[in-house]
Amino acid sequence: MTSAQETMTSRERVLAALNGDPVDRTPVVNPTSIATVELMDMVDAPFPDANREPELMARLAECGHTELGFDSVMPVFSIIQDSSALGCKIQWEQKDNWPTVKMTEPIYDSADDIEYDIEALLAHPDTQCVTEAIRILRDRLGDDVAVIGKTMGPWSLAYHTFGVEPFLLLSLDDPEKTKEVLQRLKRITIDFGVMQVEAGADALTLPDHATGDLVSGEYYHRYLEELHQEFAEAIPAPLILHICGRTVDRMPYIANTGMAAFHYDSKNDPAESMEAVGGRIRLVGNVNNPETLFARGPEEVRAEVIQNLEAGVQMVGPECACPLQTPLENLRAIPETVREWHAIQESE
Amino acid sequence: MRRQSRTELGRRVELVSMDRHHEDISVGLYVRDGERGPVATVHSYSGRPGVHERLEFIARALSELGGLERLDDPLELRFACGGWHATAAKRLFLEACKHDPATPLEQRPLEAPDARTEQQIVVEPLGDGAYEVHARGMSDGEASRAPAIAKGMAKLAQLEADEGERPVVRFACGQSHDPLVGLLLGRAQNLRAVMREEEMKASRGVLAAPSAQE
Amino acid sequence: MTELNEVTNEFIRGEIDEFVERPEERERMISMFAACRPDMLDIGAALIEGEDGVVDELTRAQLDAGTEALEVMDDGLIAGMALVGIKFRENFIFVPEVLACARAMKAGMAHIEPILSDAGIEPVGKVVMGTVKGDLHDIGKNLCIMMLRGAGFEVIDLGVDTSPDDFIDAVEEHRPLVMGMSALLTTTMPNMGKTIDAFVDADLREAVKIMVGGAPVTPEFAEDMGADGYGKDAMECVAIAKQLVGVGSGA
């Protein structure tokens, strides 16, 4: 099966899709990590060092395009760089596992505790690692491939700094204080995001985990919708909001934010999700990680990719950071399927 | 080291993410269709010095410990029966990777002391891929460990277990696999340890949202 | 059949009317709350609203007035929490609300637990309880634990996300008569079967009676996976546990 003729560079394709403009084929995008232990070996850039050293971070991210055929590269594999710079304790783990914030040792107890020097935070080695990796990737990939950065939203930062349960209790006990927490943390989201754009990022993923298994869609509307609108205005690059879990109930609100795209989870049906956003925001996703990409084979991956393409989802990729042991053949199946599908559409 | 193209490798059946015996490289076992049946390949994407030698050792271990046949390519093997025993292959691969290179590679006997009692467990080949598990030296009133161990072996390698009273397990191919059975005997004695390893392995490498972390 | 208007607390009547949709569950809730004294319903109502300060105050007042600790626990706290569990399961409320209710429960139990421990009741038996691997929900498990303790069982709480190996470790260490597993997700339910299989593999299946429960679990599923008992909710959990240890009629 021959691929359809491609007339755009990967970068052009991704930016056009984020903007809602015509594309030559559906881009294959990873707003979240597609790093695996095998890719780490391929370019000798293992975790945890690849989360802390710019050259390793860039090298591992580059594989996403050069080895797997994705249209984007995204070097911020984990979700802890900003929290580390804020002072959270991090468990850096080993090559085969993700670094995590030790949320059992929160650094904040109340909104009044939130104090940080934004300049120092942006100069921290873990935030600087990201911007330097973006510079390296921009330099190496030129204008051909989209470089996507990542900046954590204030809800996620609050989980990391307060602990999940204390912050959720606060959200019920004292909505005003909760809003104050988000207001105090939002500067990190904006400034770290802007720094990455200035370093050369074409777009940013913005994870903000107001997930469906924890909070209602109404919570998103109450606490985050306006803030996310603010981010869309303040950060000069397309934003891809990422929220895990079942989120169809909040997709209509998310579509109001003015963000370029929403990266959605496999718990949401593609057609149902497209209807929920009503064309007001693009979707990226949503190939299942634990059951499909990790545990099954290329045929199962293909089926989920096609389901997204047939629903009209604008960008296709894994639903979230793929497990580090994911077989490369499964990740490669995503761009292969997209090309084959478009070739069939063109020939019909 | 020649890097195999992915079409040559086939499908990955098992992965050791961090090989403790060689600089934490990842090592995979792949299987593809060959002329004389499925062909397994030991492979790593790492280009570090000494990787090829390490992979060759693992391939040799698969052969010596599990009875797999080596092929012309030193990293390729097959089951002598010409079939593919997927679960057994995974188990064997994990054991081969775990084996300390400093200790000799020796086929495990079909007899071993039981880990929990004073019984001696003996596995008797019956032919046609069937093996009966016996327990000797039971003290008065003590139940035989043979049925539990037979069940464990069946589970570890997805063997067929006979329904009747005799603890017999058999390979679906109907061929003998004595070295593999010797290996399974050792592990079947402590399925909990196997289970613990599998649980630990399954919990690695999955990024949880902050709310999903414990 | 008991009628809704026999539940004397207006707030709780409203909660049942609005949030309990399944007919058999509705009937059970109505019967249960209709049998509770108004003072107990006040505690339950405060718990459902997550008002830990009020639960604390009312619980203390009732105990000071001579009400039995078990009655306050069963009819005030546990009954209220049962309704919270239903609302959460049906997505009427989410984790923040449940956390607030759990905090209120804890406030009440802080007064009750010392009384129950001091009562010197001869334990009926030992039970090990946990939510299965991959499942982080604990409401059902916690309700069962409270009911079991109230009924005189000694309970070891393994928490959430309990692996088969952890269950086995606990059974080997504590030698309970019964082990209880709970799951709230259909995706984690199979881990109950895996855990029972692990006991079989470890040659320990006969060492303990295993009961299961949780919203998605059915009697058929429980039987298929080899459990010894199934309880549809925390209230039944005690009856099943008693049956499995051979105590009384199980009621």
* Straight-line distance from the first to the last Cα atom of chain A, in angstroms, rounded to the nearest whole number: 13
Mutate to test the interface with C, among B133, B192, B206 (most CBs of C within 10 A): B192
CB pairs under 8 A between B and C: 27
Whether the Cβ atoms of residue B140 and residue B147 lie closer than 8 Å to each other: no
Q: Is residue C250 part of a domain?
A: no
Distance (Å) from the C-alpha of residue C157 to the closest C-alpha of chain A?
Answer: 20
d(CA A149, CA B168): 58
Rounded to the nearest angstrom, the gap between the alpha carbon of residue A262 and the centroid of all alpha carbons in its chain is: 9
Indicate whether A211 pLDDT > 50.
Answer: yes
* CATH classification at residue C170: 3.40.50.280
Indicate whether B3 pLDDT > 90.
Answer: no
Subunits close to A (at least 3 CB pairs below 8 A) = B, C
Boundary of a domain, candidates C69, C91, C118: C118
How many domains does chain C divide into?
A: 2
- A173 part of contact set with chain C, CB < 8 Å: yes
Question: Could you tell me if C66 and C169 lie in one domain?
Answer: no
Distance (Å) from the C-alpha of residue A162 to the closest C-alpha of chain B?
Answer: 11
Largest Cα–Cα distance in chain B?
Answer: 60
Give the per-residue pLDDT at A2: 46
Question: Could you tell me if B94 and B116 lie in one domain?
Answer: no
Name the average pLDDT for chain B: 91
d(CA C83, CA C29): 8
Q: Is residue B73 part of a domain?
A: yes
Name the average pLDDT for chain C: 90
Q: Which of B192, B199, B214 sits opposite C202 (nearest CB)?
A: B192
Question: Could you tell me if B150 and B196 lie in one domain?
Answer: yes
pLDDT band at A50; cut points 50, 70, 90 = very high
Amino acid at A225: E
Put simply, the answer to whether B152 touches C201 (Cβ < 8 Å) is yes
Give the per-residue pLDDT at C250: 43
pLDDT band at C122; cut points 50, 70, 90 = confident
How many angstroms separate the Cα of B142 from the Cα of each of A191, B119, B139? 71, 10, 5
Mean pLDDT value of segment A104-127? 96
Q: Is residue B206 part of a domain?
A: no
Q: Is residue B47 part of a domain?
A: yes
Put simply, the answer to whether A168 touches C50 (Cβ < 8 Å) is no
* CATH classification at residue B166: 3.30.1360
Put simply, the answer to whether A165 touches C94 (Cβ < 8 Å) is no
User: pLDDT tens for residues A125-161?
Assistant: 999 999 999 999 999 999 999 999 999 999 999 999 9
Distance (Å) from the C-alpha of residue C118 to the closest C-alpha of chain A?
Answer: 32
Put simply, the answer to whether A324 touches B204 (Cβ < 8 Å) is yes
Indicate whether C251 pLDDT > 50.
Answer: no
Give the per-residue pLDDT at A214: 86
d(CA B13, CA A159): 37
Indicate whether A115 pLDDT > 70.
Answer: yes
Subunits close to C (at least 3 CB pairs below 8 A) = A, B
Placement of tokens 């904040």 in the chain: A108
- B197 part of contact set with chain A, CB < 8 Å: no
Name the average pLDDT for chain A: 96
Query: Count of residues for chain A?
Result: 348
Burial of C149 (0-12, 13-18, 19+ CB in 10 A): buried
CB pairs under 8 A between A and B: 92
- B102 part of contact set with chain A, CB < 8 Å: no
User: pLDDT tens for residues C172-204?
Assistant: 999 999 999 998 777 788 899 999 999 988 889
Q: Is residue C149 part of a domain?
A: yes
pLDDT band at C249; cut points 50, 70, 90 = very low
Q: Regarding predicted confidence, which is higher, C115 or A54? A: A54
Indicate whether B132 pLDDT > 60.
Answer: yes
**Among B25-29, B144-148, B194-198, C234-238, the range of highest mean pLDDT:** B25-29
Count other Cβ atoms within 10 Å, centred on residue C247. Answer: 15
Residue C211: both structure tokens together:
């009961």
Q: Buried b vs exposed e over C5-20: b needs ≥16 C-beta within 10 Å? A: eebebeebbebbeebb
Question: Could you tell me if B88 and B146 lie in one domain?
Answer: no
Alpha-helix runs per DSSP H in chain A: 10-19, 37-42, 54-66, 81-86, 118-123, 125-141, 154-162, 164-173, 175-199, 217-219, 225-234, 251-254, 270-277, 298-311, 328-347
User: pLDDT tens for residues C201-212?
Assistant: 888 999 999 999
Q: Is B123 helix (H, G, I), strand (E, B) or coil?
A: strand
pLDDT band at A4; cut points 50, 70, 90 = low
Indicate whether C124 pLDDT > 60.
Answer: yes
Of A200, A263, A264, A209, residue with least CA distance to A237: A200
Question: Could you tell me if B126 and B92 lie in one domain?
Answer: no
Indicate whether B11 pLDDT > 80.
Answer: yes
Q: Give me the DSSP letters along A217-258.
A: HHHIIIIIHHHHHHHHHHSSS-EEEE--S--GGGHHHHTTS-
Contacts of C99 in chain B (CB under 8 A): none
Counting Cα atoms < 13 Å in the Cβ hemisphere of A181 gives 28
- B109 part of contact set with chain A, CB < 8 Å: no
Question: Could you tell me if B17 and B53 lie in one domain?
Answer: yes
For C243, phi then psi, to 5°, come to -60, -45
Fold type of domain A28-341:
TIM Barrel (3.20.20)
d(CA A12, CA A71): 9
Mean pLDDT value of segment C13-34? 94
Q: Is residue C251 part of a domain?
A: no
Strands A146-150 and A100-101: unpaired
Contacts of A157 in chain B (CB under 8 A): none
d(CA A214, CA A223): 14
Give the per-residue pLDDT at B7: 57
Q: Is residue B103 part of a domain?
A: no
Task: Record the pTM.
Answer: 0.92
Boundary of a domain, candidates C87, C118, C149: C118
Conformation bin of residue C120: beta by default, left when phi > 0, alpha when psi is -120 to 50: left
Whether the Cβ atoms of residue C229 and residue C243 lie closer than 8 Å to each other: yes
- B202 part of contact set with chain A, CB < 8 Å: no
Handedness of CA C194, C197, C199, C202 (dihedral sign): negative
How many domains does chain B divide into?
A: 2
Give the per-residue pLDDT at A1: 40
Boundary of a domain, candidates C50, C83, C118: C118
Amino acid at C132: V
Burial of C175 (0-12, 13-18, 19+ CB in 10 A): exposed
Burial of A299 (0-12, 13-18, 19+ CB in 10 A): exposed
pLDDT band at A75; cut points 50, 70, 90 = very high
Question: Could you tell me if C138 and C99 lie in one domain?
Answer: no
Question: Could you tell me if B124 and B74 lie in one domain?
Answer: no
Put simply, the answer to whether A172 touches C97 (Cβ < 8 Å) is yes
Q: Is residue B106 part of a domain?
A: no
Whether the Cβ atoms of residue C85 and residue C29 lie closer than 8 Å to each other: no
Cβ neighbours of residue A179 closer than 8 Å, sequence gap 6 or more: A223
Question: Could you tell me if C132 and C114 lie in one domain?
Answer: no
The chain B residue lying nearest C133, using CA atoms, is B199
Q: What percent of chain A has pLDDT over 90?
A: 95
Distance (Å) from the C-alpha of residue A311 to the closest C-alpha of chain B?
Answer: 27
Distance (Å) from the C-alpha of residue C100 to the closest C-alpha of chain A?
Answer: 7
Conformation bin of residue B183: beta by default, left when phi > 0, alpha when psi is -120 to 50: alpha
Boundary of a domain, candidates B48, B67, B98: B98
Question: Could you tell me if C67 and C152 lie in one domain?
Answer: no
Question: Could you tell me if C86 and C163 lie in one domain?
Answer: no
Q: Buried b vs exposed e over B172-185: b needs ≥16 C-beta within 10 Å? A: ebeebbebbbbbbb
Residues 196-225 of C with CB under 8 A from A: none
Worst-scoring range by mean pLDDT, A30-39, A233-242, B21-30, C153-162? C153-162
Question: Could you tell me if C112 and C131 lie in one domain?
Answer: no
Put simply, the answer to whether B6 touches A101 (Cβ < 8 Å) is no
Worst-scoring range by mean pLDDT, A27-41, A68-82, A209-223? A209-223
Put simply, the answer to whether C165 touches B192 (Cβ < 8 Å) is yes
Worst-scoring range by mean pLDDT, A174-178, C146-150, C231-235? C231-235
Put simply, the answer to whether C94 touches A214 (Cβ < 8 Å) is yes
Contacts of B148 in chain C (CB under 8 A): 203
Give the per-residue pLDDT at C248: 56
Give the per-residue pLDDT at A86: 97
Subunits close to B (at least 3 CB pairs below 8 A) = A, C
* CATH classification at residue C73: 1.10.1240.10
Give the per-residue pLDDT at B2: 43
Q: Is residue C65 part of a domain?
A: yes
Q: Which residues form the domain of C54? A: 4-118
Q: Is residue B3 part of a domain?
A: no
- B199 part of contact set with chain C, CB < 8 Å: yes
CB pairs under 8 A between A and C: 26
Of A64, A51, A21, A60, residue with least CA distance to A238: A21
User: pLDDT tens for residues B14-27?
Assistant: 999 999 999 999 99
Placement of tokens 């003015």 in the chain: A258
Put simply, the answer to whether A171 touches C96 (Cβ < 8 Å) is yes
**Among A225-239, C127-141, C178-192, the range of highest mean pLDDT:** A225-239
Give the per-residue pLDDT at A70: 98
Contacts of C168 in chain B (CB under 8 A): 192
Give the per-residue pLDDT at C195: 95
Give the per-residue pLDDT at A3: 54
Question: Could you tell me if B66 and B148 lie in one domain?
Answer: no
- B47 part of contact set with chain A, CB < 8 Å: yes
The chain B residue lying nearest C161, using CA atoms, is B214
Rounded to the nearest angstrom, the gap between the alpha carbon of residue B64 and the centroid of all alpha carbons in its chain is: 12
Mean pLDDT value of segment B64-77? 96
pLDDT band at C121; cut points 50, 70, 90 = low
Worst-scoring range by mean pLDDT, A257-266, C105-114, C234-243? C234-243
The chain B residue lying nearest C203, using CA atoms, is B148
Q: Is residue C82 part of a domain?
A: yes
Contacts of A78 in chain B (CB under 8 A): 207
- A216 part of contact set with chain C, CB < 8 Å: yes
Residue C9: both structure tokens together:
């607390």
Question: Could you tell me if C146 and C58 lie in one domain?
Answer: no
What ipTM goes with this model?
0.92
pLDDT band at B116; cut points 50, 70, 90 = confident
Mean pLDDT value of segment A86-111? 94
The chain B residue lying nearest A32, using CA atoms, is B207
Give the per-residue pLDDT at A341: 97
Contacts of C96 in chain A (CB under 8 A): 168-169, 171-172, 214-215, 219
Q: Which residues form the domain of B34? A: 8-98
Give the per-residue pLDDT at A318: 98
